[in-house]
Structure 1
Amino acid sequence: MATLREPIKIFIVQSLACFDTPQQVADAVKQEFGIEIERQQVSAYDPTKSMGKNLSKKLKELFDRTRKDFKENTENIPIANKAFHFKELQGMYEDYSKNKVMRAKVLKQAQSLIQMGSTTGTSELSEKEQIEIEMKRLELEKLKREVNPPESRPPEEDYKISLNPDEEIPNEPIL
């Protein structure tokens, strides 16, 4: 096992907090610092694993803070950004200048991305979910009226006839 300096330890802890695998971190350390380390040594810097239970308090706090920031700030990740998606789709659309089928697929993907953004506006519910909620609300109102009928019935309800499935329409008017 190689003895690691403080900047390398911090790099490892922050990488693990950002959900990189130990192998990815080991490869990144080799590329960034020119030091070859094993996955097992990297795992010792992850406080969520059993090998990392003896990690210093300072590095545990750094791990927790980095993990929290990583989870909360997804807009810093290019692929999580809508502008990044549209830029990539634009490039793909231009690359397929002769292929109409692929251009249509790229347009369909862009359209779904736009629709996804419009349905997750303020309500964060799809149109289908909103309709289902509205239907349930109307059913509840109807049940409330049946349980607690209003004191006076509206005039248009005087002429309504409710039939059971086995009844026929009456021949004579009901008064």
Structure 2
Amino acid sequence: MAKLTDAEKQEIVTLLAQFCSPADVVVHMRANYGIEIDRFQVRAYDPTNSRYEGGAKWRPIFEQARSAYLKAIEDIPIAQPAFRLNELQRNYFRARDSGNLVLANKILWQAAMETKRIPSSDSRKDTHELYYPYNLTPEERRAELVRIFERALDRRGVDQAGHEAHSH
């Protein structure tokens, strides 16, 4: 086991508080301090681990670093719903304007998820089946498609022969 200074131990505790894995801490300490330690030695400074050996000294430092890290999330734009919705809106308009309606609809769905305006993912399958009725037989699907196309053509004013109806 490598002998660590208090500054090095504090660095390990801080990295662990920021949810770095022991393997990531090993790499960080090697790259930044030239120290060779193993994951087991790192775990000894993690108060959330059963092998914690840091005593009373490192636990409050860990808790303070974890609290500061979690609070800092508020300062990260992508963690804010308003930022994400603004980005989704920009992407929606780009997709729509470029004619990519499949992507535009996916973005609308994601925005609805973001604002909790649709059922949770647990009930997404039920919602999905409302729009995509998988329980239909092939004949029923064909009949449904014919009905959908007929309604669409009626709206456009196309007659049964496929000619556009002209109103004078």
TM-score (norm 2): 0.51
Q: 1:77 to 1:15 in 2, by over 3 A?
A: farther
After superposition, the C-alpha distances for 1:36-86 in whole angstroms (9 at most, x for unaligned) are 43211110111232321x314321210122234445664245543224423
> In the alignment, what sits opposite 2:22?
22
After superposition, the C-alpha distances for 1:107-126 in whole angstroms (9 at most, x for unaligned) are 2211331346xxxxxxxxx9
Matched residues in 2 for 1:77 and 1:6: separation? Answer: 30
> In the alignment, what sits opposite 1:38?
38
> In the alignment, what sits opposite 1:80?
79
After superposition, the C-alpha distances for 1:9-54 in whole angstroms (9 at most, x for unaligned) are 22211222233321232233344444443211110111232321x3
> In the alignment, what sits opposite 2:115?
114
> In the alignment, what sits opposite 2:105?
104
Matched residues in 1 for 2:72 and 2:48: separation? Answer: 21
> In the alignment, what sits opposite 1:49?
49
Matched residues in 2 for 1:99 and 1:33: separation? Answer: 50
> In the alignment, what sits opposite 2:162?
none
Matched residues in 2 for 1:30 and 1:86: separation? Answer: 40
Percent of aligned positions with the same letter in both sequences?
A: 39
Q: 1:103 to 1:5 in 2, by over 3 A?
A: farther
Which protein has the larger Cα radius of gyration, Structure 1 or Structure 2?
1
> In the alignment, what sits opposite 2:5?
5
Structure 2 SS opposite 1:85: helix
> In the alignment, what sits opposite 1:66?
65
RMSD over aligned Cα atoms: 3.2
TM-score (norm 1): 0.50
Q: 1:4 to 1:79 in 2, by over 3 A?
A: farther
Matched residues in 1 for 2:32 and 2:92: separation? Answer: 35
Matched residues in 2 for 1:44 and 1:86: separation? Answer: 42
Matched residues in 1 for 2:45 and 2:92: separation? Answer: 44
Q: 1:39 to 1:90 in 2, by over 3 A?
A: farther
Q: 1:24 to 1:95 in 2, by over 3 A?
A: farther
Structure 2 SS opposite 1:58: helix
Matched residues in 1 for 2:83 and 2:90: separation? Answer: 11
* Structure 1 range deviating more: 22-31 or 57-66: 22-31
